[in-house]
Amino acid sequence: MKFLRLVGSNLKRKKIRTLLTLSSILVAFVLFGYLAAIRQALSQGVDVAGADRLVVRHKVSIIQFLPESYEADMERIEGVAEATHATWFGGIYQEPQNFFPQFPVKPEEYLAMYPEFLLPEDQKQAWLKSRTGAVVGRTTADRFEWKVGDKIPIQATIWTRSGGQRTWEFDLVGIYDGAEAGTDTTQFLFRHDYFDEARDMARGQIGWYYVRVEDPDKAAGVAAAIDNEFANSPAETKAETEGAFVQGFADQIGNIGAIIQAIVGAVFFTILLVAGNTMAQSVRERTGELAVLKAVGFTDAHVLGLVLTEAVTIAALGGFAGLGLSWFMISAGDPTGGLLPIFFLPRQDIVIGIVLVVVLGLLTGLLPALQAGRLRIADALRRL
Partner 1 sequence: MSRQAALDQVEATSSVSSETLVRVEGCTKHFRRGSEEIRVLEKLDLEVPKGEFLALMGPSGSGKSTLLNLMGGLDRPTTGSITVAGERIDQLSRPKLAAWRARHVGFVFQFYNLLPVLNAERNIELPLLLTHLSRAERKKHVETALEIVGLSHRQKHYPGTLSGGEQQRVGIARGIVTDPTLLLADEPTGDLDRKTGDEILDLLQALNRDHGKTIIMVTHDPHAAARSTRTLYVNEGRLRAEPVE
Q: Which amino acid is residue 371, in one-letter code?
A: Q
Is there binding between residue 378 and partner 1 (CB under 8 A)? yes
Asked if residue 292 binds partner 1 (CB under 8 A), the reply is yes
Of 274 and 381, nearer to partner 1 (C-beta) is 381
φ, ψ of residue 76 in degrees (nearest 5): -85, -15
- Taking CB under 8 A as the rule, does residue 15 contact partner 1? no
Under 8 Å CB-to-CB from 382, ≥6 apart: which residues?
A: none
Residue with nearest beta carbon to ligand ADP? 379
Q: Nearer Cβ to ligand ADP, position 300 or 379?
A: 379
How many CB atoms sit inside 10 A of residue 382's CB? 10
Amino acid at 350: I
Q: Write the burial class of residue 30 (CB in 10 Å: 0-12 exposed, 13-18 middle, 19+ buried).
A: buried
Which residue(s) pair with 80 in the sheet?
213
Strand partners, 56: 209, 239
Query: Based on the number of CB atoms within 10 Å of its own CB, is 279 exposed (0-12), middle (13-18) or buried (19 or more)?
Result: buried
When binding is defined by CB under 8 A, the residue of 67, 101, 120, 288 that contacts partner 1 is 288
6 binds partner 1 (CB under 8 A): yes
In this complex, which beta carbon is closest to partner 1, that of residue 120 or of residue 288?
288
Q: Shortest Cβ distance from residue 379 to ligand ADP (Å)? A: 5
Give the x/- contact pattern for ligand ADP in 323-362, rule: CB under 6 A.
----------------------------------------
Query: Distance (Å, rounded) from C-alpha 208 to C-alpha 186?
Result: 19
With CB under 6 A as the contact rule, the residue among 108, 169, 215, 379 that binds ligand ADP is 379
For residue 63, give the nearest of 244, 230, 243, 205 by alpha carbon. 205
- Which amino acid is residue 254, in one-letter code? G
3 part of the interface to partner 1, by CB under 8 A:
yes
Identity of the residue, 234 or 297, whose beta carbon is nearer to partner 1 in the bound complex: 297
Q: Is 291 exposed, middle or buried (0-12, 13-18, 19+ CB in 10 A)?
A: buried
Indicate whether 257 belongs to the interface with partner 1 (CB under 8 A): no
Strands (E), the chain: 53-58, 66-67, 80-86, 102-105, 117-118, 133-137, 151-155, 167-178, 188-191, 205-206, 208-213, 237-241
CA distances from residue 320 to 30, 313, 353, 360 in whole angstroms, order as listed = 9, 10, 8, 12
Give the nearer residue to ligand ADP in terms of CB position, either 38 or 291: 291
The reply to whether 382 sits near ligand ADP by the rule CB under 6 A is: yes
Chosen residue from 239, 293, 311, 375 binding partner 1 by CB under 8 A:
293
Q: Least distance to ligand ADP from the beta carbon of 381, Å? A: 9
> How long is the chain?
384
Burial class (CB in 10 A: 0-12, 13-18, 19+), 326: buried
9 touches partner 1 (CB under 8 A) = yes
Total site size for ligand ADP, rule CB under 6 A? 3
- Rounded to a whole number of angstroms, the minimum distance from the CB of residue 378 to ligand ADP is 5
From the list 111-119, 262-270, 330-338, 376-384, the region that binds ligand ADP by CB under 6 A is 376-384
Is residue 295 close enough to count as binding partner 1 by CB under 8 A?
Answer: yes
Q: Which of 16, 201, 332, 384 binds partner 1 (CB under 8 A)?
A: 384
Phi, psi (5° rounding) for residue 307? Answer: -65, -40
Each residue 298-337 as x (binds partner 1 by CB under 8 A) or -, in order, gives: xxxxx-----------------------------------
Cα–Cα distance between 87 and 65 in angstroms, integer? 9
Query: Out of 201, 378, 383, 384, which residue is the one contacting ligand ADP (CB under 6 A)?
Result: 378
Query: Which residues make up the interface to partner 1 (CB under 8 A)?
Result: 2-3, 5-6, 9-10, 12-13, 288-289, 292-302, 376-378, 381-382, 384
Query: Which residues make up the interface to ligand ADP (CB under 6 A)?
Result: 378-379, 382
